[in-house]
Amino acid sequence: MINGLRNSIYFISIFFATCLLQACGERIVYHTYRPVPAKRWAPSDTLVYEVEISDSAVTLTLTAEVRNRNTYPFQNLTLNVASNFSDTARWVNQKADFILTDEEGQWKGTGWGSLYSSGTSLGHVYIARPGTYTIRVTHDMRTEELEGIQDVGIRLAYP
């Protein structure tokens, strides 16, 4: 009898702890990084993300993320982010602007050693129906090949 009561209390405690953690945390629908080809990113190199969304009539927060090495030669980074969330035949283009260092050249992102991570919100997207949606990312810097960018990530989460 005492063992049964202990087991019941244990499972109820685990259930409530799980519910509490789910309620407090951000509910992520999609979060993936793509590596930059050969550590040199040409303007024609497009990173493609195929996003399967099973919900309908939902609003999600879209975030672009970047991992850069300390060899990245610029203070900022601008990405072109094209998505087809509103209609699979219509593309919406957005700019994702990152400030990666301060005026003194200190890295602003989180990280250690030679790798840093930064993110910027691109606002909210409305998903009308379940389906597979595509996000395409290219860089918009004034150089033929961009060095020092390791990975680019896309995150979709409930607000």
Determine the average pLDDT of the residues in 51-59. 94
Instruction: Encode pLDDT of 56-76 as tens digits.
Output: 999 999 999 999 999 999 999
Mean pLDDT across the chain: 87
pTM: 0.81
- Tell me if 73 sits within 8 A of 145, measured CB to CB: no
Q: Quick one: what percent of the chain has pLDDT higher than 70?
A: 84
How many separate helices (H) and strands (E) can be counted in the chain? 1, 11
Task: Output the pLDDT for position 6.
Answer: 56
Place of tokens 């009539």: 57
The 10 Å Cβ neighbour count of residue 146 is 22
Instruction: Encode pLDDT of 122-157 as tens digits.
Output: 999 999 999 999 999 999 999 889 999 999 999 999
From 13-22, 41-50, 65-74, the region with the lowest mean pLDDT: 13-22
For residue 135, CA distances in Å to 8, 49, 81, 111, 139 come to 46, 5, 7, 26, 13
Instruction: Encode pLDDT of 92-129 as tens digits.
Output: 999 999 999 999 999 999 998 899 999 999 999 999 99
Higher-pLDDT residue of 18, 39:
39
Residue 18, φ and ψ in degrees, nearest 5: -65, -45
